[in-house]
Amino acid sequence: MKKNWPLWEVFVRSKNGLEHRHFGSLHAADAEMALENARDVYTRRNEGVSIWVVESKHITASNPENNGELFEPAQDKVYRHPTFYNLPDEVKHM
């Protein structure tokens, strides 16, 4: 489908103070159209206060085939989680 517009990834910040989160993707001819399309497709139910768009081809992704060497070594290293502290009762929401 060479005639399709390029694909864009959409990031929306739901509230001031929160970070932009990946919301999905869409097609658009250029950045301006991508912003308008993102506004219409992803924020029409009041989901956002800010939108970022980036053309999907500019994202470099890890290869799922390499998941073993990339991610599995971290699975048996529980000491990297801060779970060995005794938290005082007064500290909440940790």
Q: Does 27 bind other proteins (CB under 8 A)?
A: yes
Q: Does 40 bind other proteins (CB under 8 A)?
A: yes
Q: Which of 7, 18, 29, 49 binds other proteins (CB under 8 A)?
A: 29
What are the tokens at 51? 């939108």
> Which residues are CB-contacts of 53 (< 8 A; sequence separation ≥ 6)?
8, 9, 10, 11, 28, 31, 34, 35, 38
Q: Candidates 15-23, 29-37, 67-75, 85-93 — which segment interacts with other proteins by CB under 8 A? A: 29-37
What are the tokens at 92? 């909440």
Q: What residue ranges bind other proteins (CB under 8 A)?
A: 5, 26-29, 32-33, 36-37, 39-41, 44
